[in-house]
């Protein structure tokens, strides 16, 4: 994750304002749409009347190498009221169990699933995880629930780290593996002790035909003992996390185990779930959600946004049919613009640039799918994202119709439902203001941009046609006035 060592949050906020605030002059400009210069704020409808029954967005409430170490649960605890007021209905926390890296672990090197910050491991006097103590975790979950926010645990069940060294006789010529987990070897809780037979290869098979993440300590989910301790027992990992108050699960790197194990986990303990199938192929994602019955992060959508906004700088592909999970199965698509992996320092060429972040958020927060907000993005673009979240939770309803998808422009219409008028998103990545006549769903109505990126107040004719605009390098979201 970028640490922003030489750039302050204030600077990032100013950058965010510039990204959406620039309005250039060009032959595409049409000043007639600004006739009257009416302040659009006074024309807006009260969007609360359109709040959806299932309103809410997902918040990834951490980034890679969060600081301060040992206090992260308290940091997020202080933000819960703001998240709730903004329209967040779930937060995703990092894997809560103790990792092999101790107080430096981000949870992706799981060692003791049952140590959520209350045991000393391998002589380490510090009992807390990188994120805090069990008491602080439970306090955060309790406060989240009091504010109507569900809490999702990161589940890393494909591989383990930090066990004691032992021989695995089923590994010819390479028998030594760190696969012994007991009270003296990284499992101070004494629950779910493991040995080499619980990893690959074992007496059932050499591997489970899935991609191996850490080949020597790849957990074998076909072993009944592993199934029992992960989700089947009344005191399993799943039931323990549920007892802490977790409401659902984010399954890490699901390529390393069969989708049926996600199905079994969910059937046993219930709750919301989402899988991290790190793949930009929408068909791969669709096959996985069909097999697991769980939603998945829409990496195909992420890569299309990265491609169109940054690498190609051409929005045409956003109009292609069926090139994202949200287009194939919107109810199973969890969309996102950034996460802890895409924002790591080494991923400079595998991320959406900060200059294009709000354009990407304008896309996922107006289309179907369940959008995710990344912690650092919210810190950088708080006001703009609050506006987009409000729009998503109210006006972003009805069928999606792409009106224009060309090099510089993307225009999409949501049809609305009942009294809800829906919206029109107009994205523009050129260096000048763009205008285009668009056929809307609204006849003889005055329109306004609910993001305030344009102050124009165009009027539709009797057939619903209106001259809309989008600022240079920015977006506008149009709907009717009150």
Catalytic residues: 252, 276
User: Which residue in 355, 350, 323, 325 sits closest to 338, CA to CA?
Assistant: 350
User: From the annotation, which residues make up the binding site for Ca(2+)?
Assistant: 218, 228, 408
CA 363 to chain centre: 14
- Residue 432 to residue 181: CA distance in whole angstroms: 61
**Distances from the Cα of 86 to the Cα of 58, 90, 379, 396, angstroms:** 11, 12, 13, 16
Per the CB < 8 A criterion, the answer to whether 338 and 307 are in contact is no
- Residue 427 to residue 121: CA distance in whole angstroms: 52
- Residue 374 to residue 198: CA distance in whole angstroms: 35
User: Which residue in 238, 297, 288, 246 sits closest to 267, CA to CA?
Assistant: 238
- Residue 211 to residue 254: CA distance in whole angstroms: 9
On the question of a cis peptide bond just before residue 417, with omega within 30 degrees of 0, the verdict is no
- Which residues partner with 296 through β-bridges? 275, 333
Per the CB < 8 A criterion, the answer to whether 431 and 88 are in contact is no
- Radius of gyration for the alpha carbons in the chain, expressed in angstroms and rounded: 24
What distance, in Å, lies between the first and last C-alpha atoms of the chain?
43
Q: How many CA atoms lie within 13 A of 445 on its CB side?
A: 19
Question: What are the residue ranges of helices labelled H in 271-406?
Answer: 282-292, 299-306, 325-328, 357-364, 375-380, 382-392
């Amino acid at each position: 994750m970028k640490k922003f060592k030489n750039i302050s949050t204030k600077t990032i906020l100013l950058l965010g304002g510039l990204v959406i605030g620039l309005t250039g002059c060009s032959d595409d400009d049409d000043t007639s749409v600004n006739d009257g210069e009416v302040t659009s704020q006074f024309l807006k409808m009260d969007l609360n009347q359109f709040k959806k029954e299932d309103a809410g967005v997902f918040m990834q409430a951490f980034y890679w190498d969060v600081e301060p170490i040992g206090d992260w649960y308290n940091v997020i605890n202080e933000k819960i009221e703001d998240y709730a007021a903004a329209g967040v209905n779930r937060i995703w926390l990092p894997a809560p169990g103790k990792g092999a890296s101790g107080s430096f672990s981000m949870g992706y090197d799981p060692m003791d699933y049952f140590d959520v910050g209350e045991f000393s491991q391998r002589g380490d006097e510090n009992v807390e995880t990188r994120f805090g103590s069990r008491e602080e975790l439970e306090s955060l979950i309790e406060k989240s629930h009091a504010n109507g926010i569900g809490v999702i645990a990161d589940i890393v069940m494909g591989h383990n780290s930090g066990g004691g060294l032992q021989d695995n006789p089923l590994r010819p010529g390479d028998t030594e593996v760190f696969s012994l987990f007991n009270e003296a070897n990284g499992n101070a809780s004494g629950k779910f002790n493991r040995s080499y037979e619980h990893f690959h290869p074992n007496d059932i098979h050499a591997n489970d035909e899935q991609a191996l993440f850490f080949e020597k300590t790849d957990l074998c989910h076909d072993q009944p003992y592993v199934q029992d301790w992960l989700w089947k027992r009344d005191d399993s990992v799943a039931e323990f996390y549920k007892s802490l108050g977790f409401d659902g699960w984010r399954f890490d790197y699901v390529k390393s185990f069969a989708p049926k194990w996600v199905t079994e986990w969910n059937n046993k303990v219930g709750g919301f779930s989402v899988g991290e199938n790190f793949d930009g192929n929408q068909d791969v994602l669709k096959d996985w959600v069909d097999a697991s019955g769980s939603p998945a992060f829409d990496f195909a959508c992420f890569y299309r946004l990265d491609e169109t906004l940054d690498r190609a700088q051409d929005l045409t592909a956003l109009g292609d049919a069926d090139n994202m999970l949200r287009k194939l199965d919107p109810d199973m698509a969890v969309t996102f613009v950034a996460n802890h992996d895409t924002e790591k320092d080494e991923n400079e060429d595998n991320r959406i640039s900060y200059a294009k972040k709000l354009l990407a958020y304008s896309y996922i927060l107006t289309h179907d799918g369940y959008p995710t907000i990344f912690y650092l993005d919210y810190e950088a673009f708080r006001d703009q994202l609050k506006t987009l979240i409000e729009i998503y939770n109210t006006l972003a309803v009805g069928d999606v119709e792409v009106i224009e998808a060309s090099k510089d422009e993307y225009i999409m219409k949501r049809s609305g439902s009942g009294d809800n008028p829906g919206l029109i998103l107009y994205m523009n990545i050129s260096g000048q203001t763009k205008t285009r006549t668009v056929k809307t769903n609204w006849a003889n109505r005055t329109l306004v941009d609910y993001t305030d990126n344009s102050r124009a107040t165009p009027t539709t004719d009797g057939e619903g046609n209106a001259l809309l605009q989008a600022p240079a390098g920015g977006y506008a979201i149009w709907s009717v006035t009150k």
